[in-house]
Chain A
Amino acid sequence: MPKITSLEDLRKIKEQAKDLTSARSGGKTRIIVGMGTCGIAAGARDVMTAILAELDKRGLKEVTVETTGCIGMCQKEPLVDVIRPGEPRITYGNVEPKDAARIVVEHLVNGNVVEDKVVGRTD
């Protein structure tokens, strides 16, 4: 590793190292994938992998991806929730791996809810 010779160098290392510990602090956008038995059977695992790949590709670091169990709406699985700080919780249903990119770009980056996939909304 090159030597640190300025504040800028230190800041650069800090920026690069940020995602080393960023998952350990809260207060960010959360994506929650339903991974109950129903979700897994409907293909939630592939959806999650697709979301992770998309986030990685776009270098989005201020997002946490969590899993959760069955919430009872099994016919709409795979379910994906997106919670942006200060905004209502949006639940997307019947999400397929190909929808992952759309949700990430539209909702997370541009701030527009992907309406045709929404199955629920809570404050």
Chain B
Amino acid sequence: MALYRAHVLICKGTGCTASGGPSVYSAMQEELKRRKLDREIMLVETGCHGMCEMGPIVVVYPEGALYCRVTPEDVPEIVEEHLYKGRLVERLLYTVPSEMTKIPHYRDIPFYSKQHRIVLRNCGYINPEHIEEYISRDGYQAFAKALLEMTPEKTLEEVKNSGLRGRGGAGFPTGLKWEFARKAPGDKKYIICNADEGDPGAFMDRSVLEGDPHSLIEGMLLGAYAIGADEGYIYCRAEYPLAIKRLKNAIAQAEELGLLGDRIMGTDFSFHLHIKEGAGAFVCGEETALMASIEGKRGMPTPRPPFPAQHGLWGKPTNINNVETWANVPQIILNGAEWYSSIGTEKSKGTKVFALTGKVKNTGLIEVPMGITIREIVFELGGGILNDKGFKAVQVGGPSGGCLTEEHLDLPVDYESLTAAGAIMGSGGLVVMDEDTCMVDVSKFFLEFTQRESCGKCVPCREGTKQMLLLLEKITRGEGTMEDLETLEELAQMVKRMSLCGLGQTAPNPVLTTLQYFRDEYEAHIKDRECPAKACAALIAYTIDPEACKKCGLCAKNCPVNCISGDRQTPYKIDQERCIKCGTCLEVCPFNAVHKD
């Protein structure tokens, strides 16, 4: 193998692929060849680095320099300046928003220096399509250690002692769950990886599947060994084509090396892994619906008990964990339960991956120790609110989570604190909202999602979410009454209490928390027929101030429905009857003559 003096890592995660990563990759490939550097500089494609906002991301080692928003046109300069002459291309380095200073090194960027990467340790660092790179980073060492030197009981004990809890949302202790499946009678047992990530804006699992698929496979191998299962399924939605491609590739490589298959490493342990592609129904993230889908039935939940540990896939004892949970396991076995439980808080151990989205400067993927405050996440890792507007709320836990306010900013992020505040850890979606966000509109948005995704099996969820949505629509149209608010609250409590599965049980959370923390906004919509954040179209009107209007006609030219009239002599005027409230006139007016009230 030739010696490479430098490695150029180009992100080919979904975010960077969308922003042009592949064309940067091919430009780099050509440029290195042209400069005859291709034999001493290695080009590596990686999974997600997490800082998708700044993509396409290019990292150059050994220096560890990180270049942001690289275009194919920048490539010759990077090759000539950095790779040939050793000078950093300063204009492409990351800039700290508050101080406008450039940071050359990966590890010094606040977005990364505050993180603690266990699950994401290899994401953006190795080539996910080469099993050798995973092995070079201690890959499959934990599995080999457990299989050859530890008993299944000891392996299970280690996971139990680590304090790892399910990362899919509910936070059930993983070791305990494994024990139920292990102790359940039966020779045939299954394990399943829930990779049916469906929350709007969430891409934690996707990034692990795309950036480090072997860590999931190794975690499942360890789980199968501890539980006594010989077959496993990864249930992944078909909307993740890259994840499925890399998983298939990873499984094939592991099979070739004899890490998957019959009599692994000469022992009696056999394990076969399959991928089941889901069609993308949100309810299939619920474990009983997921198993129904794998069995080829319609994806609908069934009442529990019986729990999957007793009566799961095809009636056999089954253990289901999500991607992030599985990916934690190899590190726990490798470094020990004591090491893992030293990270985090008393009841929530380890780290959690969050997809940070919404109105923050650095959107992307972060892995932080449990117990970090929301303030640190939003203002330090996230870099603060976009355009330096005011912080209003953060929505934790996806469509089934709740909205937390400014007073919760110093809340430590762990399972108990979040639940106490009315939100849930969920799978790890974090949507930040600024002062221009209408909370009624937000809860309507999330409810629209859960209502559409309701499978329709049980009445509270099917009918309840629909009626709640109708009420919310009525309120945002400015036609609501105070009785509607009461009905809404009553319905929300009912749906939460009586729904069959987690989808319905958590769907009212956004409504309930916004009613709790932002009730005044609901009341403003009803009593004053006003949207305080000026977001609900039915409750706002655009007008042109005749004094400030310079009669340039830009608004009329850009209006998509031609409802603005005027000429060089008369100030422009909006016909309120025909106005669709798109806000284009406000955006284009150079003199701030358009007002929104």
Contacts and interface: CB of A to CB of B under 8 A. Distances in A.
Same complex: yes
Interface of A: 1, 3-7, 10, 13-14, 16-24, 26, 30, 32-37, 40, 48-49, 52, 55-56, 61, 64-69
B265 A17 contact: no
Interface stretch (B253-261, B339-347, B447-455): B253-261
Contact of B266 (A5, A14, A55): A5
B135 A14 contact: yes
A55 B62 contact: no
Contacts of A48: 5
Contacts of B63: 66
B141 A21 contact: no
Interface in B141-156: 141, 144-145, 148
Given A66-B63, A67-B86, A69-B85, A20 B257 contact: no
25 contacts: A6-B266, A10-B144, A13-B132, A13-B135, A14-B138, A14-B141, A17-B132, A17-B133, A17-B136, A21-B125, A22-B136, A23-B7, A23-B61, A24-B64, A26-B62, A30-B62, A33-B86, A37-B85, A48-B5, A55-B3, A56-B2, A64-B5, A65-B6, A67-B83, A67-B85
Given A35-B85, A66-B86, A67-B86, A23 B133 contact: no
B40 interface: yes
Interface in B119-168: 125-126, 130, 132-133, 135-138, 140-141, 144-145, 148
B3 A56 contact: yes
B6 A1 contact: no
Given A23-B62, A66-B6, A67-B85, 18 more contacts: A1-B257, A3-B256, A4-B140, A6-B148, A6-B265, A7-B145, A10-B141, A13-B132, A13-B135, A14-B138, A17-B136, A23-B5, A23-B42, A35-B86, A48-B5, A61-B3, A64-B5, A66-B62
Contacts of A3: 256-258
Nearest to A53: B3
Contacts of A40: 85
Nearest to B266: A5
Nearest to A34: B86
Interface string B207-223: 00000000000000000
A112 to B, nearest CB: 23
B172 to A, nearest CB: 32
B517 interface: no
A7 B148 contact: yes
Contacts of B83: 67
B133 A21 contact: yes
Contacts of A17: 132-133, 135-136
Contacts of B258: 3-5
Contact of B137 (A5, A16, A21): A21
Interface of B: 1-7, 9, 40, 42, 61-64, 83-87, 125-126, 130, 132-133, 135-138, 140-141, 144-145, 148, 256-259, 265-266
A26 B140 CA distance: 23
Contacts of B144: 4, 7, 10
A61 B94 CA distance: 30
Contact of B136 (A21, A35, A56, A69): A21
Nearest to B126: A21
B6 A23 contact: yes
B218 to A, nearest CB: 12
A6 B58 CA distance: 37
A67 to B, nearest CB: 3
A93 to B, nearest CB: 17
B581 to A, nearest CB: 52
A69 B7 CA distance: 19
A22 B62 CA distance: 9
Given A3-B258, A4-B258, A4-B265, A20 B132 contact: yes
Nearest to B84: A35
Contact of B86 (A14, A22, A55, A69): A69
A73 to B, nearest CB: 15
Contacts of A32: 86
Nearest to B258: A3
A35 B82 CA distance: 10
Q: Which 6 pairs show the lowest CB-CB distances between chains A and B?
A: A67-B86, A3-B258, A17-B136, A65-B5, A17-B132, A64-B62
B140 A10 contact: yes
Contacts of B2: 56
Nearest to A45: B84
Given A18-B136, A23-B62, A64-B5, A69 B125 contact: no
A69 to B, nearest CB: 4
A56 B4 CA distance: 9
Contacts of B266: 5-6
B130 A68 contact: no
Nearest to B9: A24
A10 B7 CA distance: 24
A64 B280 CA distance: 46
A24 B406 CA distance: 40
Residue among B40, B62, B126 having the largest count of chain A Cβ atoms under 10 Å: B62
A51 B145 CA distance: 39
Contacts of B126: 21
A69 B87 CA distance: 6
A20 B148 CA distance: 27
B61, B86, B140, B256 — most chain A CB neighbours (10 Å): B86
Contacts of B138: 14
Nearest to B7: A23
A14 B5 contact: no
B142 to A, nearest CB: 11
A69 B88 CA distance: 9
Contacts of B1: 16, 19
Contacts of A16: 1, 132
Interface centre among A10, A14, A36 (most CB of B within 10 A): A10
Nearest to B85: A35
Contacts of B84: 35, 67
